[in-house]
Each structure stands twice: as C-alpha cells, then as structure tokens.
Structure 1
Amino acid sequence: MAAKGPAIQLFSLHGLIRSRNPEMGRDADTGGQIKYVLELGNGLSARAEIGRVDLFTRLIADKRVSSDYSEPIEVVNDKFRIVRIQCGGRKYLRKEMLWPHLEEFVDRTIKFIKRNHALPDIVHGHYPDAGYVAMQLAEIFGLPFIYTGHSLGRSKQARLRDQGMSEAEMLRKFKIDRRIDTEEQILARADLVITSTRHEIKEQFGLYHHKDVPDYQVIPPGIGIDTFYPFYHDMLDGTEQPEDARYAQASMLKELNRFFMTPEKPLILALSRPDQRKNISGLVQAYGEDLELQSMANLAVFAGLRKDIDAMADNEREVLTQMLLDMDKYDLYGKMAIPKKHDFEYEVPALYRIAAERRGVFVNPALTEPFGLTLLEASATGLPIVATDDGGPNDIVRNCQNGILVNVARTDQVSSALRKIIADKDLWERYSKNGIMNVRKHYTWQNHTREYAVAAGKLTAANQPSDLATTRPSGPIGRRLMKLNHFFITDIDNTLIGDDNSQLEKLVHLLNRHRNRFGFGVATGRTADSTRTILKKYSIPRPDVIICSVGSALFYGNSSKPGPGWVSHIASRWNRGKIAGLLKDFDFLKYQEEETQRRFKVSYYMKPGKDRLSTIHNRLLHHRCRYNLIYSHDRYLDILPYRASKGKAIRYLSYKWEIPLKNFLVCGDSGNDEEMLRGEPRAVVVGNYSHELADLKDGRNVYFADSSCAGGILEGMQHYHFIDEASGG
C-alpha cells in the first residue's frame, strides 16, 4: 500500500460494513454511520497528502449475514482497506453487546499492527465503542486521537426516559451507563472531536461533564454528487447512465407503481431504518389524518430491509407492525407504498430522482436528527425537504435554503409543510434549485476531507511521537529478551510476598529452574531501589524487568536508569507541577512523603469519601490535564502520565519485544493491579485479594485462586499450564 503522508486508522466496530452495496437500514447498527466511514475512507485515500487509510471493524462469520463480513481484509483501493478483527466469538452481536469484548479487540488490533508493521499516525473512533478502542490505542502507542460521536448516550437516555423506559430497562437493553461513562472518558482524552453541526457541540456534547476538555471542529459530511445528481440530468438528451442505474430506476418505478392507484401524483418519500426515534408512525398519522394531502400526493415509506417481521428485533418489529396497523387504520391502500427492500448503490439515488421528477417532497420525521445525510442526498437530486427542527437539519436548511423545518411531534405541522411545498410551484422550484446548488457548495466529501487533512496535519505535527523502536538494551538482558516468547509478571506486596509465604520457596525454586523458559518481571507500587531490596531479602531471583512506581517507571535487569523508550513514551503532555498545584487546596488529600514521589508520579493519601475521586477528575480535566488516576487499598492515590500504568507497560513490552500478550501471565491482588489483569494476558488474582477486584470475576482470562500470595501464583500457573506451554510442551 502507498505510504506517503500520515497513515490513518478509522474504527467502527459493529462489523456490518462492506465497500460493495452496503446494507444500510438492515438493523439498528446499519444507519448513516456506515456510509459516513466508507465515504471518509474513500475521500481521504484520494488525497495526495494522506498515506494509507485502514477502517477497522469486527469480523463476523455467521450464516445470518453475508459472508462478505468474514473476509479478514477487504481491499477497497490501493490506499484504503477494511480490516476485520475477531472478538467476542464469530457470531453477529448488536453493538450494545460488544462492550465486554472491547479489550480483546484492542489486543488483537495491536497484534495486527505488529504483524503488519502498520503503526498509524492518527486513530479515529466512530461511536463510543470504537472511540474506546481508539482511545486505548492512542494511549498505548502515543498517537493523536480523533473522535466522532454520531449519536450520544445522554441524548438517547433523555429520549428513552421521555418515552417511559425505566432506568433498569435502559441498562439491560442499551448498557446506557457504560456508554455514557465511556463517552466521558473519551472527551477527557480526545485531541479533536469532529462534529457535523454546531448544534451537536452545544446541545449534545454540552450535556457532558467533560464537554470543555477537547477541541471541536465542525466538518459537515458530504455526499457523492456523481451518484446523487439532479433529476433533470435523466431528462436531457445525450445523457448516458450506467446500465445498473437504468435498471434500478425501472425497478423502483415498477415497485412503486404496484402500490399506487394513481402513480402519477407527487410522491412524498421517507427513507430510514425502523427505529422508534425515526417517528415513522408520526408521519403515517400526519398523512392519514389529512385527506387533502392524500388527494394531492402518494406516500412511500422505505423502512429498512426486511424479510420476515416476526424474525426481527423487538424495536424494529414494533415499528414495522405499527406502520402496517396505521396503514390499515387510515385505509391508505393504493396511496401508500411500503416496499421491503432497496439497493443503496443504485436504487436509493433513483428513488430521490423519481420523487423529484414527480415534484414531490422528501420528509425526515425523526424526533431528533444529529445530522441528516438523507436530507442532503435528496436535496442534491433536486427534491425539497421537510424535517425536524431538532439537531442537524437546522444547519442544513440554514446553509441550503431547501425546505421547511417543523416540530415533528405536531402532525398538523408535518402535513401542513408538505401541502405547502407541493401546492406552491414557485416555492418547489426555489427549494429544488437551492438544494442542488448549495449542497454542492457546502456538503461534498472533497470539502470534508480537505478540512480533515489540514486538521490531521496539525495533530501529527504537534504530537511528540514515542519511539517504541528505541534502541533495545544491549548486553545479556537484551539478548535474553530477544529470545523469550513467554513472560511472568507479578505484583510484590500481598501477591508475591505477604502474610502467607509458605509457598514462596517452592515458587523461587520454579523460577530458578525454568529461567530459560520464560521471562520474569515485577509490577509494583514500590520504587526500583525498594523493589530490589525486598526481592534480595527473600532470595527472589533478579527480575528481567521491573515495572515500578505503579507503572510510571520501567527498568531492565540491573540497570539503574529507566528504559529510555518508556520515558519517551509516557512523557508526552505530562505536567507534574501543574497537577500538584491544582490539588494542593483539597483538604482530603495528604501529600505522601518525598521519597515516594517521582518525576512521573504524584502520590497522596486519601480516605474513601463521597465524590472525592470525581472532584479530583473534574478539577484536572477542567484544566486540560492529561493523567491516569489510580486509587487502591482505600488509601493510596497515585496520579501518573496518561500513557503510564502497569497494564500499559505490559502492552508496551509485548509490542517492543514481540511477545504475544496471551503469553503473559500476570498476578495481582489490589486495585492498582486491575488494569494489567484485564484483556488478553492470562491473569491470576491471589486468594487474599482486595475487594476492589471483585468485579473481575466475570472477566475473560481471569483466574481467582483459592490460595494466598505465592501459593495462589503457583495455583494459577498450574491452571493455565504456563510452565508446560513455556517449555514447549
């Protein structure tokens, strides 16, 4: 692949993405975000100043969906490909069910990057699950992080609450608490948030505690104006259409005409997936209650792709069933079309042009619309619009002067606006022309990717890249690490050593006996000197790696100096003095002794208390600090660079020394071990663990030992057959 200019990795996780004939509207996961990321990838790859573009999504091998989604790599063009990563099995899972598998996605993406030498210059997450993955990769590799929300959890929570859904139901169906918490983390970490409208920044991101932390840039998405060309092009002599486009137009005409008694009437067109918030029932009600509108125009509602309504998810089934009931209630047979499928590559553009030729209107009755890509598509073909006055349509109509915005909860306003445009020929012509001309002025992917490339260039120029390929330590330790393919890393206090040391001698004997089979490291809150002293006291072999000061320092072998690569990696955007200054007036914090303080660590004593951690977070985030906060044993508070922690240090070692994460065995007992115990490494929680780790019992690759301290470590090694595997057995 071409490699000039920055390499960009886009993330959109749900998996139902393909470059050929995307299945938009298939279900709740296949909305406008699919088109957005595909067009963004295509547009960026067409720019000379951009290197490669990779779009990462989930690999799905499931008979219920197309086999296209099981293709590990789909080459779109010479600079753009879709990369599919397996996580959470191979069956299709709706996006709300992916939350427990995000760490696996991160770890497998790191493997892909290593194996293919594909370290990017920028990562860009779309939607909060992919935003979380991109955020983790940005921190691990020291990369700029861009985020696009598409829709936001707090807005969705408010809508669901207004619809009468209980908090318990929201948690069960949508994992809304996890989503909102992740969005807050993303806002605290993102270098740039790209939005489609100003409304999105003020009214949607404005609901979040960390709304003022990131930089925002409004870059509206575009449309393919070669695909969504004006309706009158088909009427001009000598215009050549691809045969696929001709066939699609004929097919759509045939499909529509079989529903209508008088097909020549103007056509009101609606196109959306079957979701409650799309308010399809409100549109049908508006049309059904207005006999004058029925006499003026036909209605066509394309509500996603479907075969058997009974086989669909609850939300989609309820919407489609209600649509059929309303059609019957208002006796709309012969006036309303409800086709079951449509092809997005050719048939949807043809639909817009058919409606425009019949001097109809496109309507988006959604209760709220973050942007409204279909409004642009329709307008580009010359079709006037009616849409909600909530969200993105405000910007579109302001820029394009191409239709009417209404309160879609008022069915009389919807029908009145439709009647007004259809009845007034001069108004229809003005909206039609304005839409065609102004969409091309304000909403093209060429404009979008040009602004995006400028923003990306500024981020890469400002970033202080960490050199993960910094010269490896020389001498025996370097040669030793180059040969290893397995690693054992453990916390010290209350894990390796503690109240029960009855099995420590046996563990030490095992470490000495199998020294050539696997690496040995410790990950501790102690300093390097304190670590070496306590290990010597208990006759524990010299570790190959010391991750100390809660992950803020990394030492190889007997070296008295931290590894320079790790120092470079975590130094970016770290301002210790600023953080200490911001927290000095909190009376619930006690600054720890100077001997515990380090260049990359600020440490306090803090007793548990209501909202204390959130108060600290709010203070630091408000002042745009980048940090990682770790609280353990209900007493110790450590603040580190945002790229530093025990877990991140282990991932760094995995990447740098090319040791698979699944070949790491990690052991711990308390909250400051939690991050390193998550994800792909095989984890052992010793029997004397702190209550802070109880939530890990449902985690993947986490073994809770019955025995304490060294005995628990030995038990975990046996559980995972670690010695046999490291020995090649």
Structure 2
Amino acid sequence: MTEPDKQLYIQMFSIHGLVRFQNPELGRDADTGGQVLYVVELAKHLSRRPDVRQVDLFTRLIDDPRVSDDYGRPVEQFSDNCRIVRIQCRGKRYMRKELLWPHLDEYVDKVIKFIKKQDDIPDLFQGHYPDAGYVAMRLSELYGLPFVFTGHSLGIPKKQKLRNDGMRESEINKKYNIETRIQTEEQILKKADLIVTSTNQEIEDQYGLYKNAKTPEYKVIPPGIDVERFHPYYHDRLPEIEKSEFCKYAQASLLNQMERFLMYPDKPLILALSRPDKRKNISGLVQAFGEDRELQAMANLAVFAGIRKDINEMEENEKDVLTRMLLMMDRYDLYGKMAIPKKHDVEYEVPELYRIASEKRGVFVNPALTEPFGLTLLEAAATGLPLVATNDGGPKDIIGNCENGILINPDDPGEIADAIRKILTDEELWQQYSKNGIMNVRRYYTWDSHAQTFTEAVFQLLDERFGSSRQQRASAREKSVGKRLSKVNFFLITDIDNTLIGQDNNDLAELIQWLTENRAKVGFGVATGRRSESAMEILEKHGLPRPDVVISDVGTEIYYGRDLQYDPGWDTHIAHRWEPEKIKNTLKQFSFLKFQDQAAQRKYKISYDLNPGKDRIAKIHDALTKNKIRYTLVYSHEKYLDIIPYRASKGKAIRYLSYKWEIPLSHFLVSGDSGNDAEMLRGEQMGVVVGNYSPELEELRGVNKIYFAKAPSSGGILEGIRKYRFTGAGSPKNRKKS
C-alpha cells in the first residue's frame, strides 16, 4: 500500500513538435523525433506507478489545416491520472521550435492560469529541451519547487557541428536562434536541481562544454522501450501467440512497400530508420552500400527517412538530405537494390519493420555523425536485430551493455560496409548478437526501470529540500510566490511617495494592521517610479510588510515576493517596438529637456527633468509621432518626464497581473497622488486619489470608480477601503476624524 505522502504530481513540459499519445508522427520533421516518443512513454509509465497520483504533459496547442485535428484538443486523456495539456502560444499555426523562443513567457503565464484554475500545484516541474526547460525553470522559481531538466540535445555541440560543416555564425544564429538557446542552457544549468541524461558521455562531452557545467547534479537514467510492442521476431511463430490483425496488416503493408523497390526481396535487409537530418548521415550509409558491390550482391538496403508527401514542401535541411539520397541512389545505380518508402506507421509498422529485418537475417544501421542516445537501436535490439552504430554517445553505452553489434566511424564508408558484411556473413555471430540484444535490452532498458529510478531521484530531491512528509512539502509550497498569488482574491496596489507614505503618517499603523489581518485574501503591492531596491528600502524603513508585488520604474518592471523575483514575461511584452536610441536622438533638439543622471535610466525608461512651459509636452508628442515612434509619456509633479514603451505603464502592469494570476480587475484597489498614477487609476479597478494629490489629477474628478479622499496619504487609502467596502468583511472601521 502506498503511503499517502508518497503521491507525486508531476508536470512535464515538451513544447515543440507534434505530441499525442496514439501513433506519434515520428520523422515528420526535425521537431517530431525521438523526444516525442520519450516524453509520451515517460508520462505513461510514471502514471502507472503507485507513488504517482497525476502526470500532466504540457505541449503547444496547434490548430492548423496542415496537421491533424488531434493537436488542437486542449486536453487529451490517456488514463484517469495522465493527460496531455495543450497551451496556446504565439497563435495556433504549427511552426518550428526556433520561432517560439520570443513567446515562451506567454506560455509561462498561461500555465500559471491553468494551475490556478485547477487549484492543484505540482510537486515538481520537468522541462524537456531548453525551450521547455526555460518554462519549467520560471515556474519552479515562482512556486518554489524542484526543477528537473532533460536536454535531449544541446546548443553548443550543435553550433560546433554546423560551423564545422561550413555554416557562418551569423547564419547559424539567424536560422536556429542558437545564442538565445545557449544562454538559456547556461541559465538552466545554474537553476536546475537535477539534470537527467541518458549516458555518461552526454555529461562529459556535451554538458562539459558549458561554463556552468559543474553547478547541477546529474543522474544517468537511460530511456526504455515498450518490450511488449518490440517483442522478438520469433514470438510470432509460437503457437500460443496469436498475431493481431493490425500487425498482420502492418507486415503485409511494409512488405508490399519494399517489394515495389526490390528486385530480390528475400535477401537479407540492411535497415536504417531516422529523420531526414544531416546529422543522421543517411548519405554515408548509401555511399557505403553504393561503393561495395559485394554488399549489394548479398543484401538489400531499406532507408525509412521520415514521413514525406512532397519533398519540395519540406524544410531546407530535410529537402537537402532527401534530394541527396535520391541523387546518390541514381549515381550508384541502386535501383532494385534499395527501398526508400515515403511513410511508415509508428504504432504498428515500425515494430514489424524490425521483425521483418530480423526474419531476413539483416542488420540495423545507425550511422549518425553524433547520437545523444539512439532509441531506435534499443527497439531494433529488442526484436533481435543486430546493430551497426556510430562510435559516439548513446550507441557506445547501448552496444557496451547489450553486446549486440559493432561500433563504427561514421565518416568512413568502408568501415561501415565491413561491419555490416561481418555480421551478415557469420551466422553464429548474427545469432549471438540477436540473442544478446533481446536479453540485455530487457535487463538494462525498460520504461518501468526508468520511471522507478526517476521517481526515487525526485523523492530524494523533495526530502532534501522540504522534508519527507506531505505536510512539510505542503507547508513549503504555501510560502512560495506562486502559491500565495494563486490564493489571494483581492489586491491593494498603491504608489509609495506622498500616497502610502507622506508627511503625515498617523494612519500608517492602522493600514499596516489592516493588511496583516486581511493577508489571507488580500495581496499587497506597490506601483512606483522608484527602482525596486529603493522601494524596498523605504517600505522597510517605515515598518511596512514586504509586498507581494513591486511594479517599479513607472510600470516598466515587475518583481515578486521577498526575493524580488523578476517577471521576464512583462519584459517580453513591453519590448515590442521599443526604440530607445531613436527616442533620445529625436528629443535632443529640445533645450528645455534635461537628461536625468544614469542611475535614473532603465532598460525600458528614459527619464528627463522638465519644468512647466507653454506647449512643451505638445512639442514632444509631435516630434515623437512624426518619427513614427511608439511610446507612452508620463509627466508627474510638474517636473519629471518619463518616456516608456507604449505597452508599459503602472495601469497596464496591473492589468497584466490581473490576467496572469486570474484576479479580476474589479478586485483591485489602486491609489495614487500624481500624474504618473493617472492611467492606473482609470478603468475597471477601484481608484483612490489621496487628499494630498497633485493638480494634474484634478481632471479625473467625476470619472467613474475614482474616489477623491479627504485624508492625505495612508489615511486616504483607508478612506477608500471603507468607501468601496473593499473585500467586504475586514474593512477598517469608520472613525471620527476632523
């Protein structure tokens, strides 16, 4: 019986590609490969464990006529406690992963909304590949929970390989957004509680290239395979095993596809199965076969290079690989000796494909230039098919453990051909490799063992951070920013100078008491022109509680909690069409503008001193507009002028908080005293102008849901709380006051 405090809720993230439970379209493109199979199988097998209560696999929602309707379903249920959750991000069209980087903070925000709506916070976040790693990292920071990362492939090795292939650095970055990816991977290494890898080589030769390589803890947990699906080829001969109609149909379909190409289809089969990617080195295998007449005489070659309809409609990488394969087939005159089918069904046909090759006493070849793991090697081995594979990464571990094949240099076609020939011509060696593969895959590489090792590592993480009981973990989660903001239903946000804190602070103690008494349901935040550090200093000086949210620098930055966690989602949102240098150059012409010192300038705020004068503000607006600059202008206290992005302001930041944390705007009470508060006072939220307000706010008098208090500063805020009956019960009592 599972202990009640051993019930894990795991949120996994694998954002790009096409992810579904049934019949994944592996090989369709560069983004739908082994990672999809990995995350789907991991989710399924984790959910079957008695110590796991829920597994959610998050990916991107796609509604695009070019792909199946399956990818547009917001939730796809595998079992009662396992589902795929699809979150819309950067529209609904299917796109390659490199285009999603600028939109990952949007994804984070929508996951937060999902978590609050379901009112259930996980025990950890796991990211697969650096895009999902970024999302999981941000969520772990907000909710104070462990972050586990599985890279699948890494940016620095990819960049090195592309440069070695002759691609220019500028071209690499433009096409693959590689610098953003590498910087994110460095961040992940600093923040991750655990990095899960498939091999030791991955740790040493790939992660070892990063500055922060020594920071995280690593755990080698090889992926597994479904040994029921990939059963040995000879099982179908056993009288007690009835082959399913699906499998019979799949086998017949595959044989029919290959026989269309092959003159002598009964010969041993050299099989390759991979995405049409240059790193997979399909051309190296075709060259090895094409240059060896003896090998052509004794065997056929079948290359299943993804799923294709029209090569001309594919991405450049895939198009180049497939075009070269066809040209090499023609160059070496391999007609009748080489099969290149256009599609294969992953669910039923792929297992049968391995078994067909085994029945024909063939060999499976993975000649990849680099191979982080190589799941197809395990699949082939489990059916009894011997291996020839690249002497790199995962294949070294797999063949080392299973003793079922030969490692080769993928750059040497002759070595590839010799290894294939050696296995095909030695029946005793073929039988030994076949038997070893079947037995040792089941010994070393099953999803059940992977899931067990993974959950053991997770429980160890949780025990080290929170203690071993559910109560301890729940208590720790309660203290996190994410949990706190998921629970509050109301928010008080106020300016600091001359609003929250003024010359007369007699009412401040009462406001502090009210905030303390209502903390369970009311969040507290400040919106200020100050920098975040300066805001915290003055709040601490006056004995105010640490705010849940700090909107600083006139609404251009947002921070959360005691540790001032920065919100990059807001940063991403307001960066659109922000042109600071163009703004500075445009405003140089005005002698009445005095550029404030450098400490006042921020990434998204340009600050000037401006004394009142006829038409000065109008002239600034006119100059910026004529230069087609998008901006927001904030003028306050008849002295300070700030130019910020057109998407930024205190009010827009509050609306962003309302959206992100699912708190209705009508549940926000905001207060201010000057012109830089005007925009945040307007709208659906409840606005309070304190009694000591600046003249520029007089224009708001009479505007709906804006109350002009008589009392100054914190007394005015208390007056507004009473006026609006903010939060109902718990509002400060009316007092007699002159």
2:707 is aligned with 1:705 = no
Aligned in 2, Cα 1:676/1:224: closer, same or farther, shift over 3 Å?
closer
Pick from 390, 394, 400: which aligns with 1:398? Answer: 400
What is the CA–CA distance in structure 2 between the aligned matches of 1:46 and 1:215, rounded to whole Å?
A: 27
Query: Residue 214 of structure 1 aligns to a residue in which SS?
Result: coil
What is the CA–CA distance in structure 1 between the aligned matches of 2:480 and 2:420, rounded to whole Å?
A: 68
Contact 2:199 2:394 in 1 (8 A): yes
Alignment of structure 1 residues 363-402 onto 2, 5 Å: 363-402=365-404
Alignment of structure 1 residues 433-472 onto 2, 5 Å: 433-464=435-466, 467=476, 469=478
Aligned in 2, Cα 1:675/1:413: closer, same or farther, shift over 3 Å?
same
Contact 1:674 1:693 in 2 (8 A): no
Q: CA deviation at 1:648?
A: 4.5
Of 232-241 and 708-717, the range deviating more from structure 2: 708-717
Partner of 2:571: 678
What is the CA–CA distance in structure 2 between the aligned matches of 1:317 and 1:47, rounded to whole Å?
A: 42
Query: Residue 199 of structure 1 aligns to a residue in which SS?
Result: helix
* Partner amino acid, structure 2, of 1:120: P
Aligned in 2, Cα 1:674/1:34: closer, same or farther, shift over 3 Å?
closer
Aligned in 2, Cα 1:490/1:384: closer, same or farther, shift over 3 Å?
farther
Of 113-122 and 376-385, the range deviating more from structure 2: 113-122
Unmatched tracts of structure 2, length 5 or more: 467-472, 502-521, 584-595, 607-628, 653-678, 687-703, 706-738
Unmatched tracts of structure 1, length 5 or more: 473-477, 498-515, 533-547, 550-557, 567-631, 633-644, 654-671, 696-701
What is the CA–CA distance in structure 1 between the aligned matches of 2:318 and 2:67, rounded to whole Å?
A: 17
Query: Residue 81 of structure 1 aligns to a residue in which SS?
Result: strand
Q: CA deviation at 1:684?
A: 12
Alignment of structure 1 residues 159-178 onto 2, 5 Å: 159-178=161-180
Q: Under a length normalisation based on structure 1, what TM-score does the superposition of the two structures give?
A: 0.73
Aligned in 2, Cα 1:292/1:99: closer, same or farther, shift over 3 Å?
same
What is the CA–CA distance in structure 2 between the aligned matches of 1:652 and 1:20, rounded to whole Å?
A: 43
2:334 is aligned with 1:332 = yes
Q: CA deviation at 1:724?
A: 2.9
Aligned in 2, Cα 1:406/1:531: closer, same or farther, shift over 3 Å?
same
Aligned in 2, Cα 1:337/1:648: closer, same or farther, shift over 3 Å?
farther
Q: CA deviation at 1:560?
A: 3.6
Identical amino acids, percent of aligned pairs: 52
Please give the per-residue CA displacement for 1:642-677, whole angstroms capped at 9, x wherever unaligned.
xxx974507999xxxxxxxxxxxxxxxxxx988474
Q: CA deviation at 1:3?
A: 9.9
What is the CA–CA distance in structure 1 between the aligned matches of 2:52 and 2:166, rounded to whole Å?
A: 47
What is the CA–CA distance in structure 2 between the aligned matches of 1:446 and 1:242, rounded to whole Å?
A: 24
Alignment of structure 1 residues 274-423 onto 2, 5 Å: 274-423=276-425
Q: How many residues align?
A: 575
* Partner amino acid, structure 1, of 2:124: I
Partner of 1:657: none
2:683 is aligned with 1:724 = yes
Pick from 37, 44, 47: which aligns with 1:45? Answer: 47
What is the CA–CA distance in structure 1 between the aligned matches of 2:252 and 2:546, rounded to whole Å?
A: 70
Aligned in 2, Cα 1:380/1:673: closer, same or farther, shift over 3 Å?
closer
Please give the per-residue CA displacement for 1:398-423, whole angstroms capped at 9, x wherever unaligned.
10000000001000000110011001
Alignment of structure 1 residues 63-462 onto 2, 5 Å: 63-462=65-464
* Partner amino acid, structure 2, of 1:690: Q
What is the CA–CA distance in structure 1 between the aligned matches of 2:119 and 2:37, rounded to whole Å?
A: 28
Q: CA deviation at 1:390?
A: 1.2
Contact 1:15 1:59 in 2 (8 A): no
* Partner amino acid, structure 1, of 2:571: R
Pick from 530, 538, 541: which aligns with 1:531? Answer: 538
Contact 1:677 1:683 in 2 (8 A): no
Contact 1:389 1:407 in 2 (8 A): yes
What is the CA–CA distance in structure 1 between the aligned matches of 2:13 and 2:574, rounded to whole Å?
A: 23
What is the CA–CA distance in structure 2 between the aligned matches of 1:719 and 1:489, rounded to whole Å?
A: 11
Contact 1:404 1:417 in 2 (8 A): yes
Query: Residue 463 of structure 1 aligns to a residue in which SS?
Result: helix
Aligned in 2, Cα 1:21/1:411: closer, same or farther, shift over 3 Å?
same
Q: CA deviation at 1:181?
A: 0.8
Query: Residue 125 of structure 2 aligns to a residue in which SS?
Result: strand
Partner of 1:649: 560
What is the CA–CA distance in structure 2 between the aligned matches of 1:524 and 1:142, rounded to whole Å?
A: 25
Q: CA deviation at 1:118?
A: 2.7
RMSD value over aligned CA atoms?
A: 3.6
Query: Residue 53 of structure 2 aligns to a residue in which SS?
Result: coil
Contact 2:13 2:59 in 1 (8 A): yes
Q: CA deviation at 1:391?
A: 1.1
What is the CA–CA distance in structure 1 between the aligned matches of 2:428 and 2:295, rounded to whole Å?
A: 18
Contact 1:228 1:380 in 2 (8 A): yes
Q: CA deviation at 1:704?
A: 3.6
Q: Under a length normalisation based on structure 2, what TM-score does the superposition of the two structures give?
A: 0.72
Contact 1:650 1:676 in 2 (8 A): no
Please give the per-residue CA displacement for 1:155-183, whole angstroms capped at 9, x wherever unaligned.
10111011000100110111111111111
Partner of 2:664: none
Query: Residue 195 of structure 2 aligns to a residue in which SS?
Result: strand
Please give the per-residue CA displacement for 1:224-282, whole angstroms capped at 9, x wherever unaligned.
00000000011222311222111111111111111111000000000000001111111
Aligned in 2, Cα 1:718/1:154: closer, same or farther, shift over 3 Å?
closer
Contact 1:15 1:69 in 2 (8 A): no
State which structure, 1 or 2, has the greater radius of gyration over its C-alpha atoms: 2
Q: CA deviation at 1:469?
A: 4.3
Aligned in 2, Cα 1:648/1:250: closer, same or farther, shift over 3 Å?
farther
Aligned in 2, Cα 1:197/1:471: closer, same or farther, shift over 3 Å?
closer
Q: CA deviation at 1:333?
A: 0.6
What is the CA–CA distance in structure 1 between the aligned matches of 2:562 and 2:260, rounded to whole Å?
A: 60
What is the CA–CA distance in structure 1 between the aligned matches of 2:480 and 2:422, rounded to whole Å?
A: 71
Contact 2:284 2:410 in 1 (8 A): yes
Q: CA deviation at 1:153?
A: 0.7
Contact 1:491 1:524 in 2 (8 A): no
Contact 2:17 2:32 in 1 (8 A): no
Alignment of structure 1 residues 573-584 onto 2, 5 Å: none
What is the CA–CA distance in structure 1 between the aligned matches of 2:111 and 2:37, rounded to whole Å?
A: 23
Contact 2:143 2:480 in 1 (8 A): no
Q: CA deviation at 1:51?
A: 1.7
2:601 is aligned with 1:690 = yes
What is the CA–CA distance in structure 1 between the aligned matches of 2:52 and 2:414, rounded to whole Å?
A: 49
